[in-house]
Amino acid sequence: GAGVSQTPSNKVTEKGKYVELRCDPISGHTALYWYRQSLGQGPEFLIYFQGTGAADDSGLPNDRFFAVRPEGSVSTLKIQRTERGDSAVYLCASSLRDSSTDTQYFGPGTRLTVL
């Protein structure tokens, strides 16, 4: 594919519901990252995958947040019992190997609104 894609582009849900956000990285990129960006702020790191495994999940705010990448390509960010404070743009990025040497390519994001 041409770049990183994310679906849906917008998601509106009610407090307490479960949501899944999908990221399709650039083909061949082994590293995948999830970030959360609130209005007027820079992206905040959530989790980093190297292949199928979560190499660093220290940015996940609590146990309501979980992410998977079962085949080392597509990743899904899952949020349980959503809260209004979860409203933000969720960005996904991928890089060839890891961010210490390689540029991260970002998707357009999913705007999550929790009512």
Which residue lies nearer to another protein by CB, 16 or 51? Answer: 51
Q: Which is nearer to another protein, 79 or 93 (CB)?
A: 93
Q: DSSP per residue over the chain, as a string?
A: --S-EEE-SEEEE-TT--EEEEEE--TT--EEEEEEE-TTS--EEEEEEETTEEEE-TT--STTEEEE-TTSS-EEEEE-S--GGG-EEEEEEEESS-TTTS--EE---EEEEE-
Q: Is 25 in the site for another protein (CB under 8 A)?
A: no
Q: Tell me the window of 13-21, 60-68, 69-77, 103-111 that interacts with another protein (CB under 8 A).
A: 103-111
Q: In the set 49, 94, 104, 114, which binds another protein (CB under 8 A)?
A: 104
- Of 1, 2, 63, 100, which lies in the binding site for another protein, with binding defined by CB under 8 A? 100
Q: Which is nearer to another protein, 16 or 110 (CB)?
A: 110
Question: Least Å distance between CB 16 and another protein?
Answer: 27
Question: For residues 36-75, which are near another protein according to CB under 8 A?
Answer: 40-45, 48, 56, 58-59
Neighbours of 18 (CB within 10 A): 11
Binding to another protein by residue 106, rule CB under 8 A?
yes
Provide the greatest CA pair distance for the chain.
40
